Structure 1
Amino acid sequence: MTTLAPPPGQESTRRSHRAGPPADGGLNFRARRLFTGPEDDPRWARPALWGILLLATALYAWNLTSITGNTFYDAAVYSGTKSWKAFFFGALDSGSFITVDKPPFALWVMGLSARVFGYGTWQLMLPMVAAGTGSVALLYRSVKRDFGAVAGTISALVLTLTPITVAITRDTNPDPILVLLMMLGAVALLKAVRNGKLMPLVWSAVAIGFAFNTKMMQAYVVLPAFFLVYLWATNVSLGKRIRNLAVATVALIVSSAWWMVIVDLIPASSRPYIGGSTDNTVWDLVIGYNGFGRIFGASSSVGSQGNGASFGGSSGLYRMFNEIMGGQISWLIPFAAIALIGGLVLRGRAPRTDPKRAALMLWGGWFVLHFLTFSLAEGTFHPYYVTAMAPGIAALAGAGGVLLYRAFREGAAAKWAWVLPVAIAASTVWAVVLLQRVTGSGTVYTVAEIVVAVAGIASVLGLLVGRFTRRHRLMGFAALAAIVALLAGPAAYSVSAATSSTNGTNPTAGPSTGGGMGGGGGGMGGAPSGTKSGTKPSGSAPSGTRPSGSGSAPSGTGSSSSSTGESTSESTSESGAQQAGGGMGGGTQVSSEMIAYLKKHQDGATWLLAVSTDQTASSIILESGQPVISMGGWSGSDNAMTLAKLKSLVKSGKLHYIIVSSDGGQGTNSEIATWVKAHGTAVKSSAYSTSSSTSTSTSSGLYRLDASDVS
């Protein structure tokens, strides 16, 4: 894709003039190689890599204190720093009443950082920034090995500037950890394909297993490509390939299931309730809420999954290109698709074990499988999920682009005179369309649109003129212009994400397109139908508790906030928490004054308060530094709290306060609300508030319960 890749023989001649290693292989030589790269690399390659890694780190960590993070996961990490039991289970509260709705590996990574360095914004973000930058480095290494330094550099730059990747890496959602683990799996798999040995394949399976313990079934999206590539391209006998895959499958199962098996074997009375499940088992969470429910929209937890709540638009093949998703991920999809097909055709007559074709199959499968899964999923879908697709697009842009450029320049066939210009033109036109969608959103996007159009036209014309006049230098400049044309738009979006605070619920990059998402580098410009825009809670946090820049406890618990979890859109509806909460605090105001009152009158209880939902509990946990019970999980519909369990907690003195709203409820939650109102003592707002607007004798929805109230 650029003349930085010389014809065969030329590069080796140039390298021969570089100084070789000293006889003693000294420390100074090895230190220099860290910055200059291996002897076989072009002189520019390693400095370019360091520049890209520095750029990635800057984008992910810029203005760190402005990052709000995800209060849902932040609270679980904080709880894990107070209790090893909460740490292991991934409990929302340090009393370990209920878990979050994901496995805990990402929480463990952030939690260990917080335990070592203290709890705060940069301590939680450090692993995320490291994961994002590490993924860029891994992609560079993998693509460079098979396609050269130019391809590796382009791939690393594309991944660095993918807008949704910048947005989600500036957040405390688990996705950056997921992508890094999947990348480790891909790198190990390609090594196994090259050398035919078992252990790299086993380590690939283990990496995907840990990815499963980060975000469950999403980690398995790439597995069909992994199995196919190994079975097809590895240079060992078919029988050995099958045996090795069988062993790796066992490793995959063990590394995926060990935590789930341990948790489900522990008696329910001795562990937290599994948030998001219908039967208090991790297995139900795997196959339902975080499994088939995401694909088919079926609900494994009534009310928590709904019919497929989507923040990314309607399902269908056009989803990745709609007004919500287009600017986040689709910039280079046309180029990547053409590069994949062209690259496979170019390697069509290569031997079965050809490593270049194997790599194209892997990254192409990664891209296609994610594209189809995310496009057609009818369950809950958030834009930032597609960061997992970014490595596939980036690898194809670099590897496939270089293959197309070499075929174009070397004149392999007349038909190749059109493939590369068509690929560049297609993504250039699409980039202009995406930028026109945000016309008026700022000068930077107008400038980006002009740059894309001018550079794209110059690239296509330069390539064609250079090809037919045999001017290789002109073709090289045209290839560089193509890189500018294809990355100017994503760069503008990425900078906006890096310079704006991130919305913990739905981080996105770029301006609002009027499609329901975007705005301010990750804020919700216009919420999807039926939802409220993200609001930043008010109040202040106790020293050492809430990460700086993350906001504080909410002034109201029944609405969406900018720092809630990622599970469903129902729980961000204005009244959804009240309805799902079944009358347990769905619409009650929880102020800093109330929290201060609860702490003063906690009287040795384990939990400060019991509320309806996770998003309410998480904000109060970070505000107060005390464990808070979420009785209904994320949307308020989990059966985590029963009347018998509530009575037991009250009778043992582990819980004194519960919030019950004045609206109605159904099922068990309604039974709890009725019992609390009948046996508890209502706490008037005047007991804790001195405000003239609230210092009345009206009920606040807060009730006090003591052992004597339990019959």
Structure 2
Amino acid sequence: MALAVLLLGAGVLYVWGLGASGWANSFCSAAVQAGSQSWKAFFFGASDAANAITVDKTPASLWPMALSVRIFGLNSWAVLVPQALMGVGAVAVVYATVRRSFPAWAALLAGTAMAVTPVAVLMFRFNNPDALLVLSLTVAGYCVTRARERGSTRWLLGAGAVIGFAFLVKMLQAFLVVPGFALVHLVTAPGVLWRRVWQLLAAGAAMVAAAGWWLLPAALALLVAVTWLTRRASRTDPVRAAVWVWESWLVVTGLVFSLMQGIFHAYYTVALAPAVAVLVGTGGTRGADRTAAGRRADAAGPGACSTRARHRPS
């Protein structure tokens, strides 16, 4: 009952008079409107439905608001209520995290402190990326707490994936918690040292995967995947050759852009777009084909293979 009162109070605190904020950050609100009108603008975080320019951050923080506007129409409440709900969620996760190791009154105190912290009240009533960032990192902290209790690999992988998603919310700020989380698990989690190290490496891979599927890193990952899937193919294999053609474009051009000194304009990166697009399309298709083939083989089973073998002509 006390927790319900806490969450209800936080919700009232965050939504009371919310419409007075108007469009809050109008730049973000414009991108939310664009995302509610165009799925392409939604995916890339464009500031307009024609996709002429994007916002200056990764777009995940815009996605909940854009979906809300698609459902409820364009108004300040549809834009800002998702932020308030994220704040209530963060309070709940703080309570749940503290409750793992401390009595209920300590968890309620922690949740209350989270709910009424002035800057938290401000940002959970605004449409900057910070609301979703704070919620994501709080969830990651809960996952690390659960992982540390019994040396759980599953919970640590969850923490890595959530932090990776937080990168899509506000880029490198999401990674500020990584050193501390990793050190605490390495030092205090149960289990032998090599297992804790392996768990952290796996969580790091989950973090990279969760952060890296949106554009450029996905193309690099698909290069590795296709090269591995075609490792037994002939030297002239057309699939692997096609991927390498476009990957060479991406890698060389990307490295040159990354190491350039002096004048560099962001629009130069348009030269990477064809390579990224081809690699995502071809690599993703190849992976899907292999997955489907594996499922068909599993469904057929050894009996079906034996039947086909008996009917094979001599």
Normalising to structure 2: TM-score of the pair?
0.69
Q: Which residue of 1 aligns with 2:68?
A: 113
CA distance in 1, matches of 2:266, 2:211: 26
Give matches, 1:574-593, under 5 Å: none
Q: Which residue of 1 aligns with 2:232?
A: none
CA contact (8 A) 2:31 2:45 kept: yes
Q: Is 1:242 aligned to 2:197, yes or no? A: yes
Change (3 A) 1:151 1:101: same
Task: Tell me the percent identity.
Answer: 38
Q: Which residue of 1 aligns with 2:2?
A: 48
CA distance in 2, matches of 1:639, 1:210: 24
Give matches, 1:124-273, under 5 Å: 124-261=79-216
CA apart distance, 1:170: 0.8
Q: Which residue of 2 aligns with 1:104?
A: 59
Q: Which residue of 1 aligns with 2:285?
A: none
1:199-244 Cα deviation digits (max 9, x unpaired):
1100100110111100001111111111011101111111111111
Q: Which residue of 1 aligns with 2:38?
A: 83
Change (3 A) 1:104 1:263: farther
1:63 to 17, 20, 25: 17
Bigger RCO (CA 8 Å, 6+ sep): 1
Change (3 A) 1:62 1:238: same
CA contact (8 A) 1:139 1:155 kept: yes
CA apart distance, 1:264: 7.8
Change (3 A) 1:59 1:147: same
CA apart distance, 1:115: 1.2
CA distance in 2, matches of 1:263, 1:90: 18
CA distance in 2, matches of 1:301, 1:194: 51
CA apart distance, 1:59: 1.3
Runs of 4+ in structure 1 off by over 4 angstroms are: 262-265, 637-641
Unaligned runs of 5+ in 2: 221-252, 269-314
Give matches, 1:449-598, under 5 Å: none
Q: Which amino acid aligns with 1:114?
A: V
Change (3 A) 1:263 1:76: farther
Q: Which amino acid aligns with 2:193?
A: L
CA distance in 1, matches of 2:55, 2:154: 34
CA distance in 1, matches of 2:109, 2:265: 46
1:499-532 Cα deviation digits (max 9, x unpaired):
xxxxxxxxxxxxxxxxxxxxxxxxxxxxxxxxxx
Structure showing greater Rg? 1
Change (3 A) 1:638 1:169: farther
State the SS of the aligned residue for 2:123: helix
Unaligned runs of 5+ in 1: 1-46, 266-279, 288-299, 303-636, 642-711
CA apart distance, 1:301: 11
State the SS of the aligned residue for 2:61: helix
Normalising to structure 1: TM-score of the pair?
0.31
1:164-205 Cα deviation digits (max 9, x unpaired):
110111111110100000011110111111121211100100
Q: Which amino acid aligns with 1:96?
A: N
Q: Which residue of 1 aligns with 2:282?
A: none
CA distance in 2, matches of 1:78, 1:264: 29
Give matches, 1:352-391, under 5 Å: none
CA contact (8 A) 2:136 2:163 kept: yes
Change (3 A) 1:253 1:639: closer
1:52-106 Cα deviation digits (max 9, x unpaired):
2122111110112111311010000101111111111001111111110110111
Give matches, 1:616-695, under 5 Å: 640=267
Q: Which residue of 1 aligns with 2:288?
A: none
CA distance in 1, matches of 2:192, 2:177: 24
CA apart distance, 1:262: 6.3
CA apart distance, 1:263: 8.4
Change (3 A) 1:95 1:113: same
CA distance in 1, matches of 2:200, 2:140: 14
CA distance in 2, matches of 1:161, 1:141: 17
Using the TM superposition, name which of 60-69 and 164-173 deviates more: 60-69
CA distance in 1, matches of 2:205, 2:99: 31
Change (3 A) 1:145 1:639: closer
Q: Which amino acid aligns with 1:166?
A: V
CA distance in 2, matches of 1:194, 1:127: 32
CA apart distance, 1:260: 3.9
Change (3 A) 1:223 1:263: closer
Give matches, 1:307-326, under 5 Å: none
State the SS of the aligned residue for 1:91: coil
CA contact (8 A) 2:212 2:218 kept: no
Q: Which residue of 2 aligns with 1:398?
A: none
Change (3 A) 1:95 1:243: same
CA distance in 2, matches of 1:195, 1:301: 52
Structure with the higher helix share, 1 or 2: 2
